[in-house]
Structure 1
């Protein structure tokens, strides 16, 4: 299982200048490579290398750095074409898609630059790195991180690392190949119903209310609109200072919720059943005032956190079809759209049971998770006549 560990670099003044110059240079050259690729119809990486490698070397890039710049550009176009094929940028005639296809991909001056072990080495005991820059290789660049992150780096770091600059601060994003724990045989499944009013509701009774998170988002949205309306230098400075604050808050909240769910499943020797919500933004039709709430809801991030934490703990996972989980009675299995009286109330038209709507849905998800797990273990070989 691959996860990332982020460390914060603490360079001296000269070291910071060298790192900043390196990022600006490699990303400027990446934009040039992107223009060449666009003009030549985005050839394969080997073909693109023949047209650009000599120029990159002449500009002062090392061999490995030049290779990484070319590969970064080719990977960016691969991602773009995949999004076009999947329809993520709209229909062929949409303005967004035409704009994406009509010009070369551009790279921000502080965009990430990949490093491999030939360009970057780690000294874990001293908590320093040695890294290639345009000014030569600089050594003894200090970094800081948590104790757990340092242990993960020391034991499992493998592959490339990315150097990025964010608000004037440099970070290294390292890939770690962490072995998955052996999954145990579950005694049952905990169903997890994800939502907006209640971020997560489990069949064991845990409920993470989204009231505070939604209130926080509305407050941040109003504050951003107020500052953007002023259009002064101080307002722009405040906006820059507050950038990504909401993302960090939501990410921390999702980590806490995911850890609570996985810890409960591990303690009770249960598996976790999740809804397969891929493509929900394209399927769901909402009124305009509700679209901001739906599209700013990080349900995919929360699901990803639950998955990777469960794999590290050896907790079994099962994905289920979410169809009718909110309309089905968890007691008699009667399905009726009218069962869902409102957001929080469920009254079965068949047996008359009254329950919290999200909790009823979580019980349905748990039952489906157990069925999926059992079906996966059953033999599909025809019986011997």
Structure 2
């Protein structure tokens, strides 16, 4: 099982200047290589290497490994562009956006992430330092830090390349780790149903409600401030809006990590699996008022689902995705389904058997039952291959 661990570097001012110059040189070389690949239609590493390798080393002052990475980076960018064009991300062929993407070479930001292999980067875990190649020579004793759990995983399971990246003026190394998978619980005693919603982000079939009014108030305040800054339109307002958006994303990610950790821990403790709603097409299916639409689109539900999935895979907890259709209108006791069973957003009252419960709890019971039925019918556990530890 692959995990990505991000550690923070604490370079001195001189070390930071060398790292910055290295990123700029590597990305400048990659941009130039991408232009050569575009002009000569050489978009594979072997073909591009014949045209670009020698000049990259001479013109940009890169070492042999760094030059190889710059060429590979340019080729990978064109491979990704081709896949995105085929997948329709840039619109249909003939549209302005599609034509524009095809008509110019790829360009890399000066501070885009730069890959490092073991010849260019070595880790000293006991002293918590790294030795890293730069255009100014090899830097030794660059201090790194992180959470104790992350550093333990990094020391034991790191494999392959690490990426050097600068974000918000701070330096990070992002390393790939290969962890052994726990044995999957092939005989769960049941499933924890998880209902995702607007008023409450996640409600489980055990009756546990995650988040709600406090976070929604904060999200409303964030939206109001963002709207105000966008209307102002000055450079300082745009800069503040960008900084605020990064802060919101970090807070949302932290909340999703906490919610997923609690759900997976409870499922593991009780020997159960986890049943999640299939989120594909949720924005097209949902019929909501305009304020609710904004709330739905602003929360990263897919991120929460992927966090639950990879944490469950790490713990050996099975995860299945079920069709969420009519879970909010179906009675979890007699299974009568009708829109009239929902007299209000928060209340469920069955018109046939008289069962009354909080609407989100009722939905989570239905998701739990559907998860069990899917498992009995042969559904397989699902989890992403790669996820960030943060």
Q: TM-score, normalised by structure 1?
A: 0.90
2:254 pairs with 232, 239, 252, which one? 252
Farther off after superposition, 325-334 or 32-41: 32-41
How many residues matched?
A: 378
Q: CA deviation at 1:181?
A: 1.2
What aligned pairs does 1:114-263 form with structure 2 within 5 A after superposition? Answer: 114-184=115-185, 185-230=187-232, 235=237, 238-239=240-241, 241-263=243-265
Contact 2:320 2:379 in 1 (8 A): no
Instruction: State how 1:63-82 maps to structure 2 within 5 Å.
Output: 63-82=64-83
Provide the rounded CA distance (Å) in 1 between the counterparts of 2:44 and 2:262. Answer: 46
| 1:163-195, Cα deviation, whole Å (9 max, x unpaired) | 001122110011111112112231111011112
CA distance in 2 between partners of 1:118 and 1:165 (Å): 21
- How far the C-alpha of 1:233 sits from its partner, in A, is 6.0
How far apart are 1:92 and its partner, in Å?
4.0
Bigger relative contact order (CA 8 A; separation at least 6): 2
Aligned-partner SS, 1:244: helix
Query: What are the superposed Cα offsets for residues 208-236 of structure 1, whole Å, 9 maximum, x if unpaired?
Result: 13322222122122223334444556545
Alpha-carbon shift at residue 85 of structure 1 (Å): 2.8
1:11 to 1:204, Cα distance in 2 relative to 1, 3 A: same
Match of 1:276 in 2: 278
Stretch moving more, 37-46 or 25-34: 37-46
| Pair 36,350 (structure 1): closer, same or farther in 2 beyond 3 Å | farther
Report the equivalent of 1:36.
Answer: 36
Q: Offset at 1:299?
A: 0.6
- Aligned residue for 1:293? 295
Please give the secondary structure, in 2, of the residue aligned with 1:198.
coil
Residue 338 (structure 1) shift: 3.4
1:344 maps onto 2:373 in alignment = no
Shift of the alpha carbon at 1:260?
1.1
Shift of 1:27: 1.3
- DSSP 3-state at the match of 1:308: helix
Deviation of 1:291 (Å)? 4.1
1:256 aligned counterpart, secondary structure: helix
Larger mean Cα displacement after TM superposition, 42-51 or 3-12: 42-51
Displacement of 1:270 in angstroms is 1.2
Q: Which runs of 5+ in 1 are unaligned?
A: 379-385
For the 8 Å contact 1:213–1:250, the answer to whether it is kept is no
Q: 357, 375, 378: which one pairs with 2:377?
A: 375
Which has the larger displacement, 87-96 or 112-121?
Answer: 87-96
CA shift at 1:237, angstroms? 5.4
Q: Secondary structure of the residue that 1:325 maps to in structure 2? A: coil
* CA distance 1:207–1:22, shift in 2 (3 Å): same
**Which ranges in structure 2 are unaligned for 5 or more consecutive residues?**
381-390
Distance (whole Å) between structure 2 residues aligned to residue 219 and residue 99 of structure 1: 38
